[in-house]
Amino acid sequence: MTTSQEKTVVHKADSRGMANHGWLQARHTFSFSSYRNPERMHFGVLRVLNDDIVAGGTGFGTHPHDNMEIITIPLAGDLEHKDSMGNTAVIRHGDVQVMSAGTGIEHSEYNKNKDKPVQLLQIWVLPNKRNVKPRYDQITLNLEDRKNKLQQILSPSSDDAGVWIHQDAWFHLAVYDKGVNSQYQMKKEGNGLYVFVIKGDLLVNNQLLNTRDGMGIWDTATVQLIAETATEFLLMEVPMTL
């Protein structure tokens, strides 16, 4: 439901930054690496939304992070993770991985399958606590729990559904049949909602979004979601103040 106070920003799929490294094809919703756009630095504390395809038998070598909440959502294929905390794991579609980089971690991500690529979303959220002890977590979700409903995959609390991060943020995934109509209620006043369409066509408060489009909405309490076609999408509610 659109209100007169509501504010929005739309990022069409073809407006994103692009990097083709051969082994990695990446689309950047927000400024990242060599893509610099002063109007696309962040949406509230949502700092990075990368849409990556990693070729078979390749990956990201060991590299450092600090003071960032890093969320990885695989869309297809298998990605092996290793880090300086001693974790070794494989994440695949249906899994969600989170790292609180805190005082500092190093990790690598590698596609061991030489015959097929990995597709993933990598998301960075600025934390509300700095220099925390680094932390790793990974969960496997029930894909049926997002069929025509919003499946919570992330929150600020370890007692709530999904993984948790050091921020007042809530993420949901959904797979809607054509015609499904629902309303998202903001969890916390002052937060905004960033909608990312993984595939399909979604009407968000009367704004039509297509595959890989994104839209940020703030200064509103509710957001209307109507699937114009069979649609898969990600909702990220985040604080708007840094």
Please report, for the chain, the start and end positions of each structural domain, with discontinuous segments joined by +: 7-239
**7-239 adopts what CATH topology?**
Jelly Rolls (2.60.120)
The pTM for the full model equals: 0.96
pLDDT at position 17 over 50: yes
Tokens of 238: 């985040």
Q: What is the rounded distance in angstroms from the CA atom of residue 26 to the CA atom of residue 17?
A: 8
Q: What are φ and ψ of residue 145, in 5° steps?
A: -75, 0
What tens digit of pLDDT does each residue of 47-83 get? 999 999 999 999 999 999 999 999 999 999 999 999 9
Question: 19 near 60, Cβ under 8 Å?
Answer: no
Residues 175, 72, 123, 51, CA torsion sign: negative
pLDDT at 233: 98
Q: What is the DSSP string of 144-156?
A: GGGBTS-EEEEES
Task: Assess contact for 133 and 142: CB atoms under 8 A.
Answer: no
